[in-house]
Every structure is written in structure tokens, then in C-alpha cells.
Amino acid sequence: MSKTPLSIAEILEKQKAESALKPRFLSKAERLAKAQREKEEEERKRAQKQEQDQKQRIELEKQAQSVASSSRHPARPSGRENGDRYRYDDGELDYGSADAKSDDRRRRRGMDVRRRDHPANGRSAANGQEQNGAQEAAADASSAPLTESEQASIRRRYLGLKDEKKKPKRKPTDKKFVFDWGEEDDTATDSLAVQIQPAPSSSTNSATPSTRYDPLDKRFDDKHWSEKTLEQMKERDWRIFREDFGISARGSNIPKPLRSWRESSIPASILSTIEEVGYKEPSPIQRQAIPIGLQNRDLIGIAETGSELAQQIETETNKFAGRLGLGCVSIVGGRDMNDQAYALRDGAEIVIATPGRLKDCIERHVLVLSQCTYVVMDEADKMVDMGFEPQVNFILDSLPVSNLKPDSELAEKPENTVGRYRVTMLYSATMPPSVERMARVYLRRPATITIGDAGQAVASVEQIVEFIPSEEARRSRLISILQRSPHLVPIIVFVNQKKAADSLGNYLIRHGFYISTLHSGKSQELREEALAQLRNGITQILVATDLAGRGIDVPNVGLVVNFAMPNNIEAYIHRIGRTGRAGKKGTAITFLDQADADLFYDLKMELTKSKLSSVPQQLARHPLAQHKPVKDAGKRKRDREDEG
């Protein structure tokens, strides 16, 4: 069967039907116009609804007024006979009483009987009866009481209240949870009412709401620990106190640190001496070490303490020993052994000694340690690094074992150790394996204190690194630095060898600088004289080896110059730690050359940690500064035989 071609009208009709089925996309203008029309239509419907509601409210008000007026003035019959009767009986009947209502009903029944008996005026009587029935029906309808729903509807429309919306039902496919309350509802009212409502007063709790305990007072305490008494200090305050001073302690039964000298349990005689000497506030290491020491516990203190030479410690100790009636003797190398033996002829309560000379005195029986009850090792890592570990072990082995603490919990209880066992304390800037091994052998259950970040550079020191390869260029650069830094005195210049210290010192003297030199080749008297001249301002510059890197304490050092980079990063940290102390800022300048390549990586790491310092591009891009070098078993190739 052949297909008949479609006519033009059918094609147009088909295209029209297809176009009607296709979705039509509106332009932006059309969408806006459609939205505007829908909005206007919605506004028109809302206005019509408001107008209808207003008309209904007016009609309901009129109905309510008519009901109220009809209840106050009931309708009366219009007949002449009955009208006369009502006219004369108004003063006698009480329409509010039950008797009056029953009389009224009897009169109406009488009228109906008379009307049936006398149908004379037929049409008029019928009309009157019909009119009276309509009035009575209207009165009954108007006097009928309104239901509660009608009253609520009238009240709601009169006040203009919105109709309550029904709670939307949740569809099975709807994943949104529907609460029993709407988003506009205030759900906190009930809970707040419970909290605001005051608790009933009783005989046992008569406190007013203003004085009753508030848990917020416990959670938020805006007082600083310095404004509180010792009894008001809480655990949170002690934690902030330790953070302020960089105190970290490990061990069991660690006592609270000292806030001030007066709050400690130090004897009054020692406290008065501390005040006379002029120690205003304890140092961070003293704040935690003294309470532990008063418990007769062994202690490991890790801190950059700014240690001094033995004779300087003797000077400070004599300030206390003289006032307390204690004998103090210093035994150090470089002095006459006979003079020191003579000083020990009557014994001493305090002996300050270096490891080598103390070992000599023990071997010569100049003194014995049978009554030694306190052993304090300062700069233990430095003594080990300088090769004094055998001497230190010999001294500790010479101590009596009768007062050695047991390695048990008994060593951590102060009530069981006072006066019975020896106390051993070890202070060090770092904790290398050799010092840890020594602590395990000779200390019993020690408490460990760490002040700040052990083994890191002082944060208040600006570190500057310069690449200067030749000796002559370094000397010229040093002269330039010293000439433009007179305000930074006293200044310490570090070298690695004794000969280099003497040579550089003479070079600076020829250029008009007042300098002192300090190294191991000088006698003890010359070392003390050099330090005294620097402290008194006679000289402004000290040229020293690593002997002064940790062995002296010169106040207010403004500049440290590493004329030669030390052999390890630990020595570098100790050198620059001579400045930037006591809350002041300092500057450290270091000269580098290719021979120091083994320390490039460690030096870059130290500069990166410092907020005041920056890494020079030459050091940052150096290949050996990109990774930590592998240390060989031998020492560095730099000559250390004559190192002081």
C-alpha cells in the first residue's frame, strides 16, 4: 500500500504539535516578566483576601453588637392588649428571675387560647400571630449562645491574627528531618525559665542567687599567677608559671617551683643572706632545682646556665659562707699545691675544685671524702668533652658507699633520706651519651630539669654569617666591625688555637684597641687578671679560645665574633650564648671558609630556627648545606693539637 503524501496543512499541523511538545526556554527578560506577573497576582489575591477578612470582621462585629443589645432589651409583643399589660407590669416583673419567666409563658399560653376561642379578626389575627412567631424565632436565634470555636474565630478575626498553619507532613522520600516546632519558634524559652527560676529557699541553703556558686567563676580566672597568693595557685597557674620560665621537669613527686625567695622553705638565715648579697629573683634553674634539693633528691639539670670559672664560684660562695660561718676552699690547677693543702689543714664544709687538681689531692691524701654528703658536678658535658671523664669517675668512686642511696623508691622520699644518704647533682648544657652513662652509674632515681630548649641557640641573639676565606681579609673585616661597634662593648672574639689568640691580640693592640687574651696556656693568675680587666672596663675586647666559651660569665656582652668557626655546632652555640643574656639582645658574627664545610648544614639549621637571623644565599645554596654530612670516625683535619 502506497503512502499518501501529507498536505501542507497537515505538515503545518504536525510541526505545530511537535513544537508544542518541545520545552521552550525563556530568556532572562521573559523570566523576570513572568516572575513580576506572578508577584503582582499574588499581591492582588492577598489584597482581596484581606478585604474579605475585613468585611467578615465588620459583619461579625455587627452581629455581636446586635446579640448583646437583644440580650439587654428583649423583644416585646406589639399587640394593644398585651402592650398595655406589659406597660403596666414593667415595674412589677423581674425578667431575670425564674418566676417572671414562668408567668410570661402562662400569659402567652392564655393569649393563644383566647385567639383560638375568638377568631373574629381572622386576617389581622393571623397576620399578628405570624408576625409574633417570626419575632420569637429571631429572638430565639439571636439569644442562642455562641460555641467556643465561633468565639475563637471572632476573636482571631477581630484581632487580625493569622490562621495557624498545619504541620507539614514528611514525605517518605524526604530526607530532611521535620521537628515538632517551626523555625520561627523560640525553643529556648522553657529551658531558660527553668534556669532563671530561683531555687526554693531552705534553712540549710539561705544564699541569695547573687552569692550562690557559679561554675563560670571556676572556669574563667583572669588573674595572673603573679597577682595570686600561694594558696590561690591552681594547677593551671603552675602550668603557666612553668611555661613563662621555660621549666620542664621529669620524675616522680616533683615539688612546685619557687615563685620568690620568701615563699620557699629555705632557712631564714640563708634568706637574709640572699637579700644582703643582692639576689632579687631566682633564676629559672634555681626556681625548680632548689625545691628538689631541699628534698635531698638526686638531680640532673639541663640548662645553658652561664657558668663561671672555679675562682668566680668561690667568690660568690664566700659571700654566703662568711655570713653563715662555713669554711670554703678552692682547689684549682695553676696554683701552688702547698698553699691549697695549708688551706685544708682544718678541713672545710665547702670545697670548690677542678677534676684534675682534686684527683691529685685525693691521691696525695691531702683530703678524704669520707664525710662528703653533697656532690655537685657543673658543666659535666664540658668536662667529658675536654677529656676529664677518667678523673671524674675516679673522684666519684672515691666517695664512701655507706651513704649511697639505694636504687629504689626510697630514694624519692625526702623523709627517709635527709641526713642519711648522699645527694648527687649533675648540671650540663647538653646530655651526650657519656654524661647519660655517668648519671646512670652514680645517681639514684634523679629528677630531671630542662630549662628552655636544651642544646639550641639563644633566641635573643642575631646571628650573622659572612664568607671570608683569607686570614688577612678576616683581620681587616674584624677591624672594621670593632671600629663601628664601640657601643657593644664588652666584645669577645673567639679563635680555635692559643697561638692564634696571641697573634690576633697583638694585631689588635697595634691598631689601638685595649684587649685581653684568655686561653689554657696562661696561668690561673693571668686568667683572673684578664677577666677582672674586662669586667672593670680597663679592656674592652677579650680574645679567647673555647676555654671562655662556657667557662666565664661576663655581664652585658654586646657582640661575639667567631673569628674562626669552632669544630662542632655545640661549641658554636656556647660561644654565641655569651651575649643576649638577662633579657637583652645580642649579636654574633661568624666568619666562614671552605674548611668549615662539615658544619654548613648544622649552621643553616640554627640560623633557620632563629627569628632574628637570616640564612645568606651563599650558605643556603651550598651543596654541603643541603643534607647532614656523614661523620667519619676520625677527627676533623684542622689541627687541634695546640687548641686551647
Minimum mean pLDDT among 18-32, 275-289, 377-391, 489-503: which range? Answer: 18-32
Q: How far is CA 231 from the centre of its chain?
A: 23
pLDDT band, very low/low/confident/very high, at 395 (cuts 50, 70, 90): very high
Q: Is the pLDDT of residue 137 over 90?
A: no
Please, what sign has the CA dihedral across residues 634, 636, 642, 644? Answer: negative
**Identity of the amino acid at 18:** E
Specify the higher pLDDT residue, 393 or 214: 393
**d(C-alpha 399, C-alpha 371), whole Å:** 9
Q: Using one digit for the tens of pLDDT, what is the confidence trace for 530-586?
A: 888 888 888 989 999 886 555 566 778 889 999 999 988 888 888 888 888 766 788
Dihedral angle computed from the Cα positions of residues 239, 245, 246 and 247, in that order, rounded to the nearest 10 degrees: -60
pLDDT at res. 44: 92
pLDDT given for residue 561 in this prediction: 94
* Sheet containing 247-250: order of strands: 247-250, 447-451, 299-302, 423-428, 374-377
Place of cell 508544542: 20
Residue 516 above 50 pLDDT? Answer: yes
Choose the weakest-confidence range: 111-120, 253-262, 314-323, 350-359: 111-120
End-to-end, the C-alpha distance of the chain in Å comes to 122
Distance between CA atoms of residues 217 and 210, nearest Å: 12
pLDDT class of 176 with cuts at 50, 70, 90: low
pLDDT number for residue 48: 92
Could you report the per-residue pLDDT of 279-289, keeping only the tens digit for each? 888 888 889 99
Question: Phi and psi for 547 in degrees, rounded to 5?
Answer: -55, -35
Q: What's the confidence (pLDDT) of residue 454?
A: 58
Residue 503 has pLDDT above 90, yes or no: yes
Percentage of residues in the chain with pLDDT exceeding 70? 72
pLDDT for res 2: 58
Placement of cell 650540663 in the chain: 428
CA distances from 219 to 92, 215, 216, 236 (A): 82, 7, 5, 11
Cα 167 to Cα 220: distance, rounded to the nearest angstrom: 43
Q: Counting Cβ atoms within 10 Å, is residue 639 exposed (0-12), middle (13-18) or buried (19+)?
A: exposed
**What is the Cα–Cα distance from 543 to 528, expressed in whole angstroms?**
14
pLDDT > 90: percent of the chain: 16
Question: What is the overall mean pLDDT for the chain?
Answer: 77
Contacts of 492 (CB under 8 A, 6+ apart): 541, 542, 544, 548, 554, 557, 559, 560, 561, 575, 578, 579
pLDDT of residue 322: 84
The type of residue at 326 is L
